[in-house]
């Protein structure tokens, strides 16, 4: 991680995240992300085995809801923001190789 | 790009050269009333997009909250599979961009599954008799189901030519438990049967736990079959294929068999198996190539920040352990011993799906022999003839016990009992009412029986002479004649007694 991130890594991640980056943007973002990763690495260096990794800002666990049905949206409400609607369903471009 | 098509190698020949290794991933939809992270209903078959809300549609600002019952079910499945339950377990986002998840990620678990390191056993009939195979369980984790896509505009089925998809999110967010095995090695030619037996036992188990309907035909239980071949004796695993959505027990068996034959063909031709997803075609019994492993499989998992960890206490886990039903295999063994059935008889009972029915019939007062006689005889035949599940014939265990009680009281015989079952199936009332309405009761009036016996003796003088000479075995012909005369409504034992009395 301390080696930073390569331009190819940034291009790969952008592709996975469906973000279209220009060459100029890749040139700019690669050193910026390297700085960010170096900052994170400093925190990682301080953390020792007796400090558990944190993924949440609040120290809570076991927050559950009862298994009870509550009203949701009507189909009209649910589909109101859809790019296109057909047969009361969201109509979207098909993705190659997608499972049923 | 991919290897050229090679011939299949017949299964038995393939097994002479290669050992199969299998991995089975089974998704079980839980039968909770509401979804995993929101209060939307989970009822199957509703109109599209009627069971959705901002949370399961991934609308901005919506916050998920875990369904406690689903966690309970996950822990119980884990315990029933002899897993360790993680004292600390988090959800993770599995990022991908298919429209079946409107959030652009599926909430799942990654490196901290709720249950891990378990095992179960299945019994498979081999050439040397029944053999137990141990299946090691890698993990059982919680996740949410995806929406359902309908591909339209195409001319040749679901893959080619479809130009857009229609998505229904009713299923998105329904709780799923994914149970993943460790590689199953050493099953050899029994691999297809072992795979089938494992999925069948898992289905039996989640039903016994009452955590899922496990209806494979409705998709509430789905199986992915991973398979690879290695040269016999080698301890290195080959490259695997992942066949998705194999949705019946028979298909699980066939898919394993087909992939063994396909892999062997590729390897025999000196080519390399491509690691890829494959689709199973129920109608033709073959798999076809889906997508190759690629960037799209890089899911960039990270801990779900919107959900707090699940940290089951020992006390809670033990409380749930105490609710586990008797494991199905142990229950079968116990019942077989109690009922005194042979292995073959028990196997038929299990095969007919009649174990619960027979148990209930026995507790309603019938003997194990009588209960088995009716359920595996007349009633199994009716179920088979009408393609009706045996527990949906319209005949209850209590009624079967009542019919048998009428037989034991010699008020009807086995033949008349079948007519009582006709009446039960037709909804004509209780066994007593049917016997009365149809006039089925056997004639116990000795006067009427004696008259019929006299008529039979008169009509068959040569038979009567034989009996007089001590050839009692000949009585069968006279009993038959009397039964015919009485239109079946006589107790054959009593008829026999009368014949012997008169002719000795
Ligand atoms: Zn919802």
Q: What is the tens place of the pLDDT at every residue in B359-378?
A: 999 999 999 999 999 999 99
Is A98 an 8 Å CB contact of chain B? yes
pLDDT of residue B296: 53
From B305's Cα to the closest Cα of chain A, the distance in A is 6
Chain A closest-CA separation from residue B201 CA (Å): 26
Amino acid A1: pLDDT? 41
Q: How far is the CA of A88 from the centre of ligand 1 (A)?
A: 17
Please answer yes or no on whether B168 and A89 come within 8 Å at the CB atom.
Answer: yes
Band the pLDDT of B415: cuts 50, 70, 90. Answer: confident
Cβ of B40 within 8 Å of Cβ of A63? The answer is: no
Residue pair B167/B148 in contact by the 8 Å Cβ criterion: yes
**Chain A CA closest to residue B305:** A56
Residue A56 lies in a domain: no
Gap between the Cα atoms of B219 and B216, Å rounded: 5
Q: Per the CB < 8 Å rule, is A62 touching B311? A: yes
Are residues A64 and B50, on separate chains, in Cβ contact within 8 Å?
A: no
Is A32 contained in some domain?
yes
CATH entry, B446-503, from 2.160.20, 3.90.550, 1.10.1330, 1.10.10:
1.10.10
The nearest alpha carbon in chain A to B163 belongs to: A94
* pLDDT, mean of residues B203-228: 93
CB of B328 within 8 A of CB of B204? yes
State percent of chain B over pLDDT 90: 66
Residue pLDDT, tens place only, A11-67? 988 888 888 999 999 999 999 999 999 988 888 888 777 777 777 777 889 999 999
Chain A residues inside the 8 Å CB shell of B166: 86-87, 89-92
Q: pLDDT grade, residue B161 (50/70/90)?
A: low
B88 neighbourhood in chain A, CB within 8 Å = 61
Task: Tell me the residues of chain A between 9 and 48 that have a Cβ less than 8 Å away from chain B.
Answer: 12-13, 15-18
How many angstroms does the Cα of residue B40 sit away from the middle of ligand 1? 4
Residue A51 CA to residue A44 CA, distance in Å, equals 11
What secondary structure does DSSP assign to B185-201, as a single string?
-S-GGGHHHHHHHHHHH
Q: B222: part of which helix (H) or strand (E)? A: strand B221-231
Q: Which of B43, B167, B152 is nearest to B98 (CA)?
A: B167
**Interstrand relation of B276-281 and B105-108 (parallel, antiparallel or unpaired):** unpaired
Q: Which of B373, B343, B375, B374 is nearest to B356 (CA)?
A: B375
A20: in domain:
yes
Asked whether residue A78 is domain-assigned, the answer is: no
Radius of gyration of chain A (CA): 22
**Number of other residues whose CB lies within 10 A of the CB of residue A33:** 16
Higher pLDDT, B438 or B13: B13
In a domain, A55, yes or no: no
> For chains A and B, what is the number of CB pairs under 8 angstroms?
150
A99 touches chain B (CB under 8 A): yes
Task: Give pLDDT tens digits for B288-301.
Answer: 998 665 555 688 89
Distance CA B17, CA B13 (A): 7
The segment with the largest mean pLDDT, out of B97-106, B110-119, B347-356, is B110-119
Residue A81 domain-assigned (yes or no): no
Nearest Cα neighbor of B400 from B377, B350, B349 is: B377
B51/A72 CB distance under 8 A: yes
Domain that holds residue A27: 7-46
Q: How far is the CA of B171 from the centre of ligand 1 (A)?
A: 10
Could you tell me if residue A27 is inside a domain? yes
First to last CA, chain B: 93
pLDDT at B203: 94
Quote the minimal CA–CA distance from B220 to chain A in Å: 15
Q: Which CA distances in Å does B469 have to B83, B463, B477, B493, B497? A: 74, 10, 15, 21, 17
Domain boundaries, chain B: 11-319, 328-438, 446-503
Are residues B388 and B379 in contact, defined by beta-carbon separation less than 8 angstroms? Answer: no
Which residues touch B317 (CB under 8 Å, ≥6 apart)?
B75, B79, B85
Question: What local confidence, expressed as pLDDT, does residue B162 receive?
Answer: 58
pTM exceeds 0.90: no
Query: Is residue B2 over pLDDT 50?
Result: no
Nearest to B392 by CA among B403, B382, B402: B382
pLDDT band at B345 (very low <50, low <70, confident <90, very high): very high
Parallel, antiparallel, or unpaired for β B221-231 and B66-67? unpaired
Tell me the pLDDT tens digit for each residue of B11-58.
Answer: 999 999 999 999 999 999 999 999 999 999 999 999 999 999 999 999
Average pLDDT over residues B71-80: 98
Whether B239 has a pLDDT exceeding 90, the answer reads yes
Q: How many domains does chain A have?
A: 1
- How close, in Å, is residue A28 to chain B by CA atoms? 23
Q: Note whether residue A40 is domain-resident.
A: yes
pLDDT at B98: 84
Calculate how far, in angstroms, residue B143's C-alpha sits from the geometric centre of ligand 1: 14
- Please answer yes or no on whether B308 and A98 come within 8 Å at the CB atom: no
pLDDT greater than 60 at residue B64: yes
pLDDT of residue B450: 85
pLDDT at residue A96 in the model:
57
| Minimal Cβ distance to B99: which of A62, A79, A92 | A92
Determine what percent of chain B is predicted with pLDDT higher than 70: 96
CATH value at residue A24? 1.10.20
Host H or E run for residue A64:
strand A64-65
* ipTM, interface predicted TM-score of the complex: 0.83
**Residue among B123, B243, B133 nearest B182 (CA):** B133
């Amino acid at each position: 991680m301390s080696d930073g991130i390569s331009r190819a890594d940034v291009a790969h991640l952008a592709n996975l995240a469906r973000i279209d980056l220009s060459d100029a943007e890749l040139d700019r973002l690669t050193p910026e992300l390297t700085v960010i990763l170096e900052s994170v690495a400093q925190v990682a260096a301080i953390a020792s085995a007796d400090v558990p990794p944190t993924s949440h800002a609040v120290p809570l666990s076991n927050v559950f809801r009862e298994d009870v049905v509550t009203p949701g949206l009507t189909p009209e409400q649910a589909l109101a923001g859809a790019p296109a609607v057909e047969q009361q369903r969201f109509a979207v471009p098909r993705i190659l190789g997608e499972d049923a | 790009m991919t290897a050229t098509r090679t011939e299949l190698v017949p299964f038995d020949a393939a097994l002479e050269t290669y050992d199969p290794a299998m991995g089975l991933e089974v998704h079980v939809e839980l039968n909770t009333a509401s979804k995993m992270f929101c209060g939307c209903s989970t009822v199957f078959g509703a109109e599209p997009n009627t069971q959705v809300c901002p949370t399961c549609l991934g609308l901005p600002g919506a916050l998920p909250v875990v369904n406690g019952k689903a966690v309970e079910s996950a822990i119980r499945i884990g315990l029933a599979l002899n897993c360790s339950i993680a004292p600390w377990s988090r959800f993770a986002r599995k990022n991908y961009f298919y429209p079946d998840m409107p959030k652009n990620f599926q909430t799942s678990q990654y490196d901290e599954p709720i249950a891990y390191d378990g095992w179960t056993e299945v019994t498979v009939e081999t050439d040397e008799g029944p053999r137990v195979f141990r299946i090691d369980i890698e993990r059982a984790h919680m996740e949410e189901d995806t929406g359902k896509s309908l591909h339209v505009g195409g001319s040749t089925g679901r893959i080619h030519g479809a130009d857009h998809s229609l998505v229904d999110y009713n299923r998105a967010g329904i709780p799923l438990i994914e149970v993943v095995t460790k590689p199953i090695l050493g099953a050899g030619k029994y691999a297809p049967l072992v795979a089938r037996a494992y999925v069948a036992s898992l289905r039996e188990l989640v039903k016994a736990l009452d955590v899922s309907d496990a209806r494979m035909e409705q998709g509430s239980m789905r199986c992915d079959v991973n398979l690879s071949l290695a040269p016999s004796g080698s301890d290195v695993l080959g490259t695997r294929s992942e066949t998705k959505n194999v949705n019946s027990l028979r298909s699980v068996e066939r898919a394993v068999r087909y992939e063994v034959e396909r892999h062997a063909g590729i390897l025999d031709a000196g080519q390399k198996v491509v690691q890829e997803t494959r689709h199973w075609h129920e109608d033709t019994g073959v798999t076809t190539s889906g997508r190759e492993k690629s960037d799209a499989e890089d899911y960039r998992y990270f801990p779900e920040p919107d959900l707090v960890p699940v940290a089951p206490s020992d006390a809670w886990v033990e409380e749930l352990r105490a609710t586990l039903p008797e494991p199905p295999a142990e229950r079968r063994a116990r019942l077989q011993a109690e009922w005194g059935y042979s292995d073959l008889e028990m196997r038929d009972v299990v095969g007919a799906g009649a174990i619960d029915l027979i148990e209930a019939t026995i507790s309603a007062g019938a003997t194990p022999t009588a209960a088995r006689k009716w359920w595996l005889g007349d009633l199994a035949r009716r179920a088979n003839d009408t393609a009706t599940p045996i527990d949906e014939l319209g005949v209850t265990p209590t009624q079967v016990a009542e019919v048998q009680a009428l037989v034991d009281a010699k008020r009807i015989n086995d033949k008349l009992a079948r007519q009582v079952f006709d009446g039960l199936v037709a909804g004509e009332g209780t066994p007593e009412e049917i016997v009365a309405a149809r006039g089925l009761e056997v004639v116990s009036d000795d006067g009427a029986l004696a008259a019929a016996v006299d008529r039979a003796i008169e009509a068959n003088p040569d038979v009567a002479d034989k009996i007089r000479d001590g050839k009692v075995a000949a009585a069968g012909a006279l009993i038959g004649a009397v039964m015919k005369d009485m239109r079946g409504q006589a107790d054959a034992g009593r008829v026999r007694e009368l014949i012997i009395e008169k002719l000795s």
